[in-house]
Amino acid sequence: MGKVALVTGAGRKNGIGAAVARRLAQEGVDVVLSDICAAPAELPHGGNAAWAELTAVAAKVENMGVSSLALRVDVTQSAEVRKMIAATKKKFGRLDILVNNAGAIIGPSPVRYMAEEAWRRMMEINATGVFLCCQHALPLMIDGGNGGRIINMSSIAAVRPRIYMSAYAASKAAVIAMTQSLAQEVGEFGITANAILPGDVDTGMKQWGMKLEAMVTAQEYDEVLSALVDRIPAGRIGQPEDVAQLVAFLASESAEFITGQAINLTGGRELS
């Protein structure tokens, strides 16, 4: 029987989650894809996916010769996460790979002006969501007796925080700490847990952030992008497929001795 992966935040066709789902499908892995599918007014940031977009990503995965399951899930709600795991078990009977990719940037602001709700929502989505997905997925992974892989999406902001991004940086730092603690708990079951720290990746959320920066600094979007690329030794902005490649490696048998790591994926951005 083939392996089964669950990828959260997979609803944007040009996003990291969708790229991860496609890359795992290339390896013959069946994929459960979830996203909140909220309207922008409900979750005001640049990464929202619509239900039609999520199902389109699932269809593309199935066209690659594997099975998929698309689910509308708010990862901050324990009951919804529990149902997601139950649906995964019902359809596939197992779970081998968990990719906690769902995340958000809400209301970047100086701390003294930051809305309390923005802080709480980023902590709930970026940190609590990872915790809940791990907590509810682990029994299915452990009971399967086949080991497993947990890959949590942090950010370079966790170790190189920028101005006005304190809540986002704190939430992503929490992901690293939890991952490293979790790795020590689940090793006896043949499960690894690692965190990926992407840098600047060309997604809808990143484009939204650069447009916001351009507006605040009275620059053109292309000027902001050019200045960003100048700070990346690799000479380009990252692509979702760059992250997907690393996920595929960490999910493979070749990575069975890698656990508890926080792996930078930035094109060298943090060196500049």
- Residues annotated as catalytic are 168
**Are 21 and 57 a contacting pair, CB within 8 Å?**
yes
Strand order of the β-sheet with 148-153 is 68-72, 30-35, 4-8, 97-100, 148-153, 191-198, 262-265
CA distance linking residue 149 with residue 17, whole number of Å: 16
Any bridge partners for residue 265, and if so which? 198
Q: Which residue has 């969708």 as its token pair?
A: 18
Torsion of CA 158, 160, 165, 170, to 10 degrees: 30
Structural tokens at position 175: 């992901």
Cβ density class 146-165: b for 16+ within 10 Å, e for less: ebbbbbbbbbbbbeebeebb
Contacts of 110 (CB under 8 A, 6+ apart): 163, 164
Cβ within 8 Å of residue 178, ≥6 positions away: 127, 130, 131, 134, 152
- As beta bridge partners, residue 264 has 197
Helices 51-62, 16-26: axis angle to 10 degrees equals 20
